[in-house]
Structure 1
Amino acid sequence: MSALVERSGASRPVVYEHFKNSEAVAVALVDQFFQETARFVVPRVDKSETIFEYMDVLIDALFEYRKADEFHAYLMTNGHSSAMPELNRVSLLYKQRAIDIFSSLLEGQGVEPELCKGAGYGLHELVTNTVYAFGASDDASQAKRALKIMVAGSLRALVTGPGTRPITPSELIKPLA
């Protein structure tokens, strides 16, 4: 809270009017991060003609966003639980939403329904962890290339044929809002 007072220039009472405690600040930052990420990524992937193009564009957009992002909400919990229960709840909610989006994308490609949830989880973990581990590093371009190869291979194992136009993220995100 002291850091927020210092960075914002607001008085301590004003900060506490808006945020009950440091966990409330963390939750607000995580929420803002995911909203801004979606605003950055969705317009880029919405134009994709196949699931393969979608994932390629998604990876490019996430790496671009990560490189430009000075603050990263993922680092607040290191992708795992923290001592803040509400922050954990919100982080897990966003994680589940991302997994649901990947699962829905795969389902829309005709992937066997019993595989979609596990495959959606796997894609989420692979993409998220690689982007956040390497996105702002000197190894970002090599990591992005490796990630694209691994994701394309995974998709080719799951999606028969050339893939169809994926459900747009706007359609997927709307029911989750």
Structure 2
Amino acid sequence: MSRIESTSDNQGKSAPNRPYKRVRMTRNERRVQLAQVARDLFARKGYDAVSIEEIAAQAGVSKPVVYEHFGGKEGIYNVVVDRELTTLSELIFSKMYKDARARETLEAIVVAVFEYIETNEAGFRLLVQRSPSTLEGDSFSTVLADIADIVSELIAPMLEASGIDPRTAPIYGQMLAGGIGQVGQWWVDEKVPDKENLAAHVVNFVWDGLRGLETEPKLRGSTPIPHHPAP
């Protein structure tokens, strides 16, 4: 079996614009190679700025080869996004255990997301880009929605035990999932602190915040915010 040379390093980070060497591959190997090339290009330049010609040139093949495997740019983009979402989702669920306590499950989710970002930087950058509206398929928001559902189920009993209506759990679940996603987008550029330290701070904020919730929260402001109509 031929070795597939990748434009990504072992951390999933986009490498310089370096074409593949032309080598003979099986059909499946070629498909994987094309997806890797396309992922790195989409992550670095965005969907609109990447062409089939560029994907083919970077992979060391002709344009018809790309069309044969994926039908076009939309096809290869959707395949790449779907693979990244599957990788992230499988990683999250692989960290979760049936009998784990709520905090342990929360920690597992947070660590899994940051682990994915650390090892698949190009894939994460691709997922958080604004997907073209003409394309079908899921996006990073789909994964965040799944995380929100899991977290909502985790904290509903905690809310009820604290005298808070458990039906409000989705509000907190959405906030927590969105916060994890936003921290991830910041961290992918900052690179500090390390993954474990970052996850510990996120869990600390979330867990302690949940313990201090008011049973009937109200806004504290007594002065209405003035409304200034647009000129």
How far apart are the structure 2 equivalents of 1:156 and 1:49?
Answer: 19
Residue 144 of structure 1 corresponds to which residue in structure 2? 199
Residue 86 of structure 2 corresponds to which residue in structure 1? 35
Deviations 1:93-127 (A, max 9, x none): 44433333332333465653421221111111111
Q: Deviation above 4 Å: which 4+ runs of structure 1? A: 108-111
What SS does the aligned partner of 2:94 have? helix
Q: CA contact under 8 A between 1:48 and 1:54: conserved in structure 2?
A: no
What SS does the aligned partner of 1:40 have? helix
Residue 129 of structure 1 corresponds to which residue in structure 2? 182
Amino acid across the alignment from 2:202? L
| Residues 21/152 of structure 1: CA separation in 2 closer, same or farther (3 Å cut) | same
How far apart are the structure 2 equivalents of 1:93 and 1:64?
Answer: 18
Q: CA contact under 8 A between 2:91 and 2:112: conserved in structure 1?
A: yes
Flag the structure with larger Rg: 2
How far apart are the structure 1 equivalents of 2:184 and 2:142?
Answer: 19
What SS does the aligned partner of 2:135 have? helix
Residue 96 of structure 1 corresponds to which residue in structure 2? 145
**Runs (5+) with no aligned partner, structure 2:** 1-51, 214-231
State which of 48, 55, 76 in structure 1 corresponds to 2:126.
76
Residue 134 of structure 2 corresponds to which residue in structure 1? 85
What SS does the aligned partner of 1:98 have? helix
Q: Check if 1:154 corresponds to 2:209.
A: yes
RCO greater where, 1 or 2, for CA within 8 Å and sep 6 or more? 1
Deviations 1:117-145 (A, max 9, x none): 21111111111221232156431335433
| Residues 122/56 of structure 1: CA separation in 2 closer, same or farther (3 Å cut) | same
What SS does the aligned partner of 1:86 have? coil
**Shift of residue 150, structure 1, vs aligned partner:** 1.3
Q: TM-score under structure 1 normalisation?
A: 0.69
User: Which shows bigger deviation, 135-144 or 123-132?
Assistant: 135-144
**Shift of residue 36, structure 1, vs aligned partner:** 0.8
Q: Cα RMSD between the aligned structures?
A: 3.0
Give the share of equivalent positions with the same residue, in percent.
21
| Residues 108/40 of structure 1: CA separation in 2 closer, same or farther (3 Å cut) | same
Q: CA contact under 8 A between 1:66 and 1:136: conserved in structure 2?
A: no
Amino acid across the alignment from 1:39? E
Residue 171 of structure 1 corresponds to which residue in structure 2? none
What SS does the aligned partner of 2:181 have? helix
Q: CA contact under 8 A between 2:89 and 2:143: conserved in structure 1?
A: no
What SS does the aligned partner of 1:116 have? helix
Q: TM-score under structure 2 normalisation?
A: 0.55
Residue 161 of structure 1 corresponds to which residue in structure 2? none
What SS does the aligned partner of 1:139 have? coil
**Runs (5+) with no aligned partner, structure 1:** 159-177
Q: How many residues were matched structurally?
A: 156
